[in-house]
Amino acid sequence: MAEVTSRPGGENLLFLTDDQLRKGIEAMFFAYRGFTADPDRILSEKGYGRAHHRAVHFINRSPGTTVNNLLSILGVTKQSLNRVLRSLIEDGLVESRVGKRDKRERHLFLTDAGGALERELSTAQRDRMRGAFRQAGPEAVAGFKQVLEAMMDGDMRRHYARLKETNG
């Protein structure tokens, strides 16, 4: 698989060799560790985990979102999310309000304390991302986002696209 791959168009497809793909896979693995390292440290000090971070992040992004909507974004079962939400509500970081039109629904909001945790976590994660972006430069960042978006499953790409348009 080390030969030059080419297509009718004549473009060089060396970047699609198994070896290049393997490097991409390992880069994703190692980079994701860095991506989560800083929030993980903060969370473990407070007795929370990554699932709490994700819930807090997306509630902050879409205040008033329902449990069901959060489920489809996070891609976990409602039972798994429920456990996390319960602890966040008990600790006063998240508020759950019964829906007005549909009383089955619970609308989720961050409290002031929840907002503070969200800022602490997102600041740490943004600092890491900013360092990487600055080091790599704007063209690299554009490519980074293109590849990541192409790697998503359809459902996730839809969620990503919707959130992209929501300024934070």
Partner DNA sequence: TTGGAATGTCAACAACGCTGACATAAAGTC
Partner DNA sequence: GACTTTATGTCAGCGTTGTTGACATTCCAA
Binding site for DNA (CB under 7 A): 43, 47-52, 54, 66-68, 71, 74-86, 96, 99, 101-106
Alpha carbon distance 43, 52 (integer Å): 8
| Residues in contact with 61: Cβ distance below 8 Å, sequence separation at least 6, in sequence order | 163, 166, 168
Nearest C-alpha neighbor of 112 from the set 129, 127, 95: 95
Minimum CB distance to DNA, residue 62 (Å): 13
Q: Take residue 112 and report the two structure tokens written for it.
A: 């002031």
User: Does 151 participate in binding its own copies (rule CB under 8 A)?
Assistant: yes
Q: Look-up: residue for tokens 């929370």?
A: 48
Which residue number, 7 or 104, has a Cβ lying nearer to DNA?
Answer: 104
Residue 133's binding partner among DNA, its own copies, none (Cβ under 5 to 8 angstroms by kind) is its own copies
**HSE-CB for 156 with a 13 A CA cutoff:** 9
Among 6, 37, 92, 99, binds its own copies (CB under 8 A): 37
User: Does 116 participate in binding its own copies (rule CB under 8 A)?
Assistant: no
Which residue number, 25 or 113, has a Cβ lying nearer to its own copies?
Answer: 25
